[in-house]
């Protein structure tokens, strides 16, 4: 159906990914492809119980961002479900388990961050590319989004130095560059990066505790709804003109 919106979200069973899944399912006529590392896990299985608006539904599939094969295999699964196009793809899955200064960078941990945070979304983009292009031919508007971070902004390194997220920020900065290239390499695509804010996820709360805080600042629901609003409003023109990098509340960010 041309009026149905199909959305694929990675890391959909926890944190921001789950918030996005719940928010899209609350809209009528939406099919959500919820990609998770382990579809048999309790958190993944619980996605089937998320309340859905009329004619909306969820499919849970496997994508481990560290795998070289999962994304391509997942898209074959999506096609087996009868889905021939994707309107919105959100590369949300990521890790940020390293807090260190540049002189302390551990090469193995650094490589892992890039494998998951940078290469994962790139492999995903390659896999979903034909289904995004098919949606563009049907509807004319398709969107590929990556969840970024203000820690990736070179312009704001001094303000963010206390977070000790240099390795994480570098992996997301490389991702931001590639997402922006995708925007200009494909004249039918709107490609953006959105920072979720300091959200109250496992990742965000762990960082907050390092600074003596009980939890992070932004409720997951607010972050997810803000991200979706940014995507709803994004166009090729605004993405090109604003640099395609926004905070979840719509504030333009600088790379």
- Respond yes or no: is residue 168 known to be catalytic: yes
Question: CA dist 15 to 10, 109, 190, 204, 240, Å?
Answer: 11, 22, 25, 9, 29
Question: CA dist 208 to 117, 160, 164, 200, 204, Å?
Answer: 21, 14, 12, 9, 6
Rounded Cα gap, residues 8 and 36, in angstroms: 11
> 168, 215, 229, 248: which one is catalytic?
168
Rounded Cα gap, residues 38 and 41, in angstroms: 6
Rounded Cα gap, residues 138 and 126, in angstroms: 20
Point out which residues pair with 6 in neighbouring strands: 31
CB 184, CB 174: distance < 8 Å: no
> 172, 215, 221, 255: which one is catalytic?
172
- Respond yes or no: is residue 24 known to be catalytic: no
CB 103, CB 151: distance < 8 Å: no
Residues with catalytic function: 168, 172
């Amino acid at each position: 159906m041309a009026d149905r919106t199909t959305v694929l979200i990675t890391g959909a069973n926890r944190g921001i990914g789950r918030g996005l899944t719940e928010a899209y399912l609350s809209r009528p006529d939406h099919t959500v492809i919820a990609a998770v590392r382990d579809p048999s896990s309790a958190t993944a299985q619980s996605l089937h119980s998320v309340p859905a608006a009329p004619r909306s539904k969820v499919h849970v599939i496997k994508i481990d961002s560290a795998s070289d094969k999962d994304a391509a295999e997942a898209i074959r699964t999506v096609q087996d479900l009868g889905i021939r196009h994707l309107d919105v793809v959100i590369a949300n899955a990521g890790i940020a388990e390293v807090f260190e200064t540049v002189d302390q960078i551990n090469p193995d941990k650094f490589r892992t961050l890039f494998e998951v945070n940078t290469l994962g979304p790139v492999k995903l983009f390659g896999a979903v590319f034909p289904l995004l292009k098919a949606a563009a031919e049907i509807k004319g508007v398709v969107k590929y989004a990556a969840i970024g971070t203000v820690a990736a902004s070179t312009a704001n390194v001094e303000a963010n130095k206390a977070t000790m997220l240099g390795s994480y920020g570098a992996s997301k900065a490389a991702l931001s560059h590639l997402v922006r290239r995708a925007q200009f390499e494909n004249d039918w695509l709107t490609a953006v990066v959105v920072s979720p804010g300091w959200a109250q996820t496992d990742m965000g709360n762990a960082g907050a505790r390092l600074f003596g805080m009980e939890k992070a600042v932004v409720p997951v629901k607010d972050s997810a709804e803000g991200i979706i609003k940014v995507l709803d409003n994004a166009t090729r023109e605004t993405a090109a003109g604003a640099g395609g990098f926004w905070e979840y509340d719509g504030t333009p960010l600088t790379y």
